[in-house]
Each structure stands twice: as structure tokens, then as C-alpha cells.
């Protein structure tokens, strides 16, 4: 487990040099908001990170329902049964194993690993603009139909889940990077992901924090580059 701090945000990384999987702890006055729950073996590392920071985890917020973002959720809830879990209204369906699509959505199959043995369910279902402490919920579908990103209103840091990746090079979800193709393999709709990436640009983030790869400081230029790359590929 590796812990890197930037302002109120702590990046917690597992398997950093091989297959980096990130989750994040956002510091608030009364505790920590955990964003994503990494893989099944990561619960002890997440708890150790919170102990190192010196505050309790008071909320668990999920960017989407893929198993490398919810893997340790059951074991974390066993340790902290009172802590509420948040996910988007749309990806709560995916959390329940429902891969059906709505009529207005891109009619391509939902991809990626959706956990079959997860027993935890969200207590709070999120929509655009909801506030979770200092975080604003932003609907950024594409990787999954209900993917969400979270903007820290104090610092303009965006925690984007798999809406972007930085491992293997900056990329919008669905844009294949040969050195780290896995987010692209798990992306439902490139077209929808591209629209969401442009939406995130409009918030003018000062920091981009993603599910796979290093945090990017002053990321607008590289985000625009990634958007251009995918636009050229899909026309």
C-alpha cells in the first residue's frame, strides 16, 4: 500500500508498479470519506491508511460498481457496519447485477467485472449535484451507465474513477492504451464517455485523481489532449 497526499486528498494505491488500483481518502473536519474500495484484499491497507492520517472513515462513496472499485466493500462494512455507502441511482442497478439498459442509453452491452458475491448495498443513492461533505457529485456515464465523479469544492480536485486513466498515458475511458488496456476493456460506451470527459473539463479541475495511475496536477491540457485523441478515433 502506498499513500500520497495532495491537499485534503490522499491517494491509496495497491500494486503500484504492476497493476495500480487506487482508492482515495478525502479529509473532512469530522473524519474521512473513502472513495472506492479497491480489490478484495485491500481492506486492511485502507484501514491502515486511515489510521496513518489519524481520522475515522465516516462515509464510503463509490464511483461505479466494477469489482476493482467495490472489492473490499464487504470486509470494510464488517469492520465499520455503521458507515453509510453511497453510489449513483443508476449504478445501484449494476451493483444488484442488473445489466439492462434504458432506452435513451447507448445500446451496447455493459462491460467489466460486476461482483456476483457482493452482499453490501448502498444506503444513499446519488444524483447530479448532491453534496457529500465537501464533495459535489457529477454524473459522468460512459465507463458504466451510472459512473460518477466527485469535485472537492475547496480545492477543485476531481476524483474521476475510470472516466479517465493516467496509467499507460492519459486517456478517456474506452480509449485503448496498449501499456494499460484494462479500463478500455471495461468501458461500456466510448461516445458517452467522451461527452462526460468534456463535462469534467468544464469544471476546470486543479487536480485529476483517477482509478488507475498517478494524480495529475493542473490537468486541463492533458485532459484536452486525451479528449482530442478519442475524438479522432471515433469520429
pLDDT digits (tens, 9 = 90+) for 123-154: 999 999 999 999 999 999 999 999 999 999 99
Q: Indicate the DSSP class of residue 5.
A: E
* 140 touches 160 (CB < 8 A): yes
* 154 touches 141 (CB < 8 A): no
Of 37, 32, 36, 38, which is closest to residue 8 (Cα–Cα)?
A: 32
Greatest alpha-carbon span in the chain: 49
> In the structure grid, which three cell numbers stand for residue 1, read together?
500500500
Confidence category of residue 235, pLDDT binned at 50, 70, 90: confident
pTM for the full predicted model: 0.97
Share of the chain above pLDDT 70, in %: 100
Q: Indicate the DSSP class of residue 113.
A: -
Burial of residue 55 (CB within 10 Å: 0-12, 13-18, 19+) is middle
pLDDT in the model for residue 115: 86
* 100 touches 76 (CB < 8 A): no
CATH code of the region 2-234? 3.60.15.10
Give the mean pLDDT of 168-178.
96
Flag whether pLDDT at 179 surpasses 80.
Answer: yes
Of 35, 27, 232, which is closest to residue 147 (Cα–Cα)?
A: 35
Between β-strands 148-152 and 135-139, what pairing exists: parallel, antiparallel or unpaired?
antiparallel
* Phi, psi dihedrals of residue 199, rounded to the nearest 5°: -65, -45
Amino acid at each position: 500500500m502506498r499513500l500520497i497526499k495532495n491537499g485534503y486528498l490522499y491517494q491509496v494505491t495497491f500494486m503500484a508498479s504492476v497493476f495500480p488500483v487506487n482508492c482515495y481518502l478525502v479529509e473532512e473536519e469530522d473524519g474521512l470519506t473513502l472513495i472506492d474500495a479497491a480489490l478484495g484484499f485491500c481492506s486492511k491497507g485502507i484501514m491502515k491508511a486511515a489510521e496513518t492520517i489519524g481520522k475515522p472513515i465516516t462515509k464510503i462513496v463509490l464511483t461505479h460498481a466494477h469489482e476493482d472499485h467495490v472489492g473490499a466493500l464487504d470486509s470494510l462494512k464488517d469492520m465499520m457496519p455503521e458507515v453509510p455507502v453511497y453510489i449513483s441511482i443508476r449504478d445501484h442497478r449494476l451493483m444488484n447485477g442488473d445489466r439492462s439498459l434504458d432506452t435513451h442509453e447507448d445500446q451496447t452491452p455493459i462491460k467489466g467485472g460486476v461482483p456476483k458475491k457482493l452482499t453490501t448495498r448502498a444506503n444513499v443513492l446519488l444524483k447530479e449535484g448532491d453534496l457529500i461533505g465537501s464533495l459535489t457529485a457529477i454524473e459522468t456515464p460512459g465507463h458504466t451507465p451510472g459512473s460518477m465523479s466527485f469535485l472537492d469544492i475547496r480545492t477543485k480536485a476531481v476524483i474521476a474513477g475510470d472516466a479517465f486513466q493516467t496509467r499507460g498515458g492519459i486517456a478517456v475511458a474506452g480509449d485503448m492504451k496498449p501499456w494499460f488496456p484494462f479500463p478500455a476493456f471495461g468501458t461500456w460506451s466510448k461516445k458517452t464517455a467522451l461527452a462526460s470527459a468534456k463535462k469534467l473539463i468544464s469544471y476546470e479541475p486543479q487536480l485529476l485523481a483517477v482509478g488507475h495511475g498517478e494524480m495529475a496536477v493542473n490537468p486541463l491540457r492533458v485532459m484536452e489532449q486525451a479528449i482530442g485523441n478519442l475524438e479522432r478515433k471515433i469520429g
